[in-house]
Amino acid sequence: MGKTIAEKILSEKSKSDAYAGDLVVAEINQIALQDGTAPLAIRQLAELGTEIKAAERAHFFVDHAAPSPRKELSNDQKLIFEFAKKIGADFNPPGEGIIHQLMVERYVKPGDLAVGADSHTCTYGGIGAFSTGMGSTDVAIAIALGKNWFRVPESFRIELVGYFPKGVYAKDVILKLIGDLGVSGATYKALEFHGACAERMSVEERLTISNMAVECGAKAGLFESDERTRQFLAELGREQDFREIFADEDAEYEREITVDVSNLAPMVSKPHNVDNVAEIEDVEGTEVNQVYIGTCTNGRLSDLEIAARILKGRKVKDGVRLIVVPASRRVYLKAMEMGLLRIFVEAGGMVLSPGCGPCVGIHQGILADGEVCISTQNRNFKGRMGNPNAYIYLSSPATAAASAVKGVIADPREFL
């Protein structure tokens, strides 16, 4: 019997013939921790007092509070730096960028098994890696042993067909799917994306979709690696890391779902749950106070290009704050070279240094009571951006940029 991508990777890493439902102990290739979760793992390792066997596979990032707004967070970041230096692990300081963007740019390869102390570790499935979030204690065990136990997930085959209509992007596809499945509709499943539309997608578009797989409960969101993946890695100087990863034709899936993107309109997720999804016409005209373009979901170069296309030669509506945050230093510099950052600033926006910024509500862009933000991030839970008395709508960069210009949630198609 053939295997899904998840079954293939977990079989290889556990050196066993594993199928959905099996429990395996598997060797882990990459381990990621950020400043919000790393201190817990570090303290757990100190308490265990165990030998650390996988320091060279561990990567620490300061991105959630970068730069730090409080002494308590500064002390935690100091702890992370000193621990990484002590064990010989990789450390990425404030300003380098978001954990998930950097893991894809620098470390993760197709076919890898990657874990992270962050739920959006599933992003790396966009290049054909089985990657998933874990609690800080489980990640501490991975650092200590270089392996951990996994239950091989059942897989949903998601067939993406058709061509994107004007104003519709990968973000709209995953919002539509989450709206259909619900926040727990794919709990502990692997979402595997196939079809002609998936094959045509750029790797950056695939990363957006994989990033949000966890928002319907999925363990992983996986794409096959192909020539587009090879070209993506080659642009990063990592072509040697390419490996072809694909599902067998006779693989068995728990469920098969077809999404015809040709019929999609721009989608928006309404407060306060990601699956509270509506078409743009249902929310169009909602007043916004803040627009946020960035995050590990939509802070990549192609996202900034889309937003700049709409904002070029236009102004942000009076009374609206536009915040743009590139996902990494590399993206920041490329956007600078291309003149994208100038477009945002001339339009009346603010460009912040690479990091998570307003997304996690620790600093930068915290909303006032009753304010509305439309954001390209992946979560709109009550209080997510630092104020439980505010409202967050999720959208594509195009919809967010159009909304910044009009001062209300707007249909990007009128600008394209």
pLDDT at residue 275 in the model: 95
| Contact in structure between 242 and 110 (CB atoms under 8 Å) | yes
Which helix (DSSP H) or strand (DSSP E) does residue 195 occupy? none
Residues 105 and 228 in one domain: yes
Residue 201 lies in a domain: yes
**E strand residue ranges, 75-212:** 90-92, 113-116, 130-133, 147-151, 155-161, 190-194
Helices (H) and strands (E) in the chain, counts: 15, 18
Residues 194 and 339 in one domain: no
Residue 361 lies in a domain: yes
Domain boundary among 260, 277, 309: 260
Q: How confident is the model at residue 1 (pLDDT cuts 50, 70, 90)?
A: confident
Averaged over 72-92, what is the pLDDT?
Answer: 96
Averaged over 173-185, what is the pLDDT?
Answer: 96
Please name which of 149, 145, 169 lies closest in space to residue 48, comparing C-alpha atoms: 145
CATH code where residue 23 lies:
3.30.499.10
Averaged over 61-68, what is the pLDDT?
Answer: 94
Residue 416 lies in a domain: no
Q: How confident is the model at residue 48 (pLDDT cuts 50, 70, 90)?
A: confident
Residues 403 and 409: their CA atoms lie apart, in Å, by: 5
Averaged over 308-332, what is the pLDDT?
Answer: 97
Amino acid, res. 140: A
| Contact in structure between 52 and 141 (CB atoms under 8 Å) | no
Residues 39 and 80 in one domain: yes
Residues 237 and 318 in one domain: no
Residues 246 and 326 in one domain: no
Q: Phi first, then psi: what are they for 256, rounded to 5°?
A: -125, 130
Residues 390 and 302 in one domain: yes
Instruction: State yes or no: pLDDT of 50 exceeds 90.
Output: no
Report the chain's mean pLDDT, rounded to a whole number: 96
Our CA angle for 154, 119, 385, nearest 5°, is 140
Residue 159 lies in a domain: yes
Domain boundary among 260, 279, 306: 260
| Contact in structure between 342 and 269 (CB atoms under 8 Å) | no
Q: How confident is the model at residue 98 (pLDDT cuts 50, 70, 90)?
A: very high
Residues 122 and 141: their CA atoms lie apart, in Å, by: 19
Residues 230 and 342 in one domain: no
Domain boundary among 260, 292, 313: 260
- Helix extents (H) in 236-339: 280-283, 295-298, 301-311, 329-337
Question: Tokens standing for 167?
Answer: 């104003």
How many Cα neighbours within 13 Å face the side chain of 314? Answer: 18
Which helix (DSSP H) or strand (DSSP E) does residue 340 occupy? helix 340-346
Question: Tokens standing for 110?
Answer: 């197709």
Tally of domains within the chain:
2
Stated pTM of the model: 0.94
Averaged over 147-158, what is the pLDDT?
Answer: 97
Per-state percent for the chain, helix, strand, coil, to nearest 5:
40, 20, 40
pLDDT at residue 5 in the model: 98
Please name which of 111, 193, 183, 122 lies closest in space to residue 156, comparing C-alpha atoms: 193
pLDDT at residue 49 in the model: 84
Amino acid, res. 49: G
Tens-digit pLDDT profile for residues 204-262? 999 999 999 999 999 999 999 999 999 999 999 999 999 999 999 999 999 999 999 99
| Contact in structure between 386 and 366 (CB atoms under 8 Å) | yes
Residues 249 and 397 in one domain: no
Residues 408 and 232: their CA atoms lie apart, in Å, by: 36
Residue 358 lies in a domain: yes
Give the range of the structural domain holding residue 280, as residue numbers without chain letter: 267-411
Please name which of 186, 398, 390, 408 lies closest in space to residue 298, comparing C-alpha atoms: 398
Residues 170 and 193 in one domain: yes
Q: How confident is the model at residue 294 (pLDDT cuts 50, 70, 90)?
A: very high
Residues 90 and 92: their CA atoms lie apart, in Å, by: 7
Residues 132 and 185: their CA atoms lie apart, in Å, by: 17
Residues 351 and 377 in one domain: yes
Tens-digit pLDDT profile for residues 66-77? 999 999 999 999
Residue 40 lies in a domain: yes
Residues 278 and 246 in one domain: no
pLDDT at residue 317 in the model: 97
Residues 384 and 250: their CA atoms lie apart, in Å, by: 42
Residues 247 and 294 in one domain: no
Q: Is residue 87 exposed (0-12), middle (13-18) or buried (19+ Cβ within 10 Å)?
A: middle
Give how far the C-alpha of residue 14 lies from the chain's centroid of Cα atoms, to the nearest Å.
Answer: 26
